[in-house]
Amino acid sequence: MREDANTDARVWSEADGLHVDVRGLPPPQPLVRIMQIVLGGAAPTLVVHLDRDPALLYPELAQAGWGAEALAGEPGEVRLRLAPLA
């Protein structure tokens, strides 16, 4: 696991994709960091770990041609799988 020096987001790879933990970051940093990765093409699938439902993220993802699927997470965590729409 590594921490991104720009945002303190924790980033690591697992079999299901690149994981980004943006819990604890002040708004709008979670959205900014996630969209940087999405638009940068760093991973075909991204699993994001958040403190709350990212309502402002969904239209940004749609505009970029990506979608979100809710995943089971830890108590108090919102976990989403992000991937390009087919």
pLDDT attached to residue 7: 56
Q: Which CATH class is domain 2-84?
A: alpha beta
How many beta carbons lie within 10 A of that of residue 25, not counting itself?
17
- The full set of domain ranges for the chain reads 2-84
pLDDT attached to residue 86: 80
CA atoms 41, 20, 24, 1: torsion sign: negative
pLDDT at 5 over 50: no
pLDDT at 11 over 70: yes
CA atoms 80, 19, 58, 5: torsion sign: positive
Confidence band of 47 (pLDDT split at 50, 70, 90): very high
pLDDT at 38 over 80: yes
Q: Please choose, from the candidates 44, 32, 39, the residue with its C-alpha nearest in 3D space to the C-alpha of residue 64.
A: 39
pLDDT attached to residue 56: 97
pLDDT attached to residue 35: 97
When pLDDT is averaged across residues 5-9 and rounded to a whole number, the result is 65
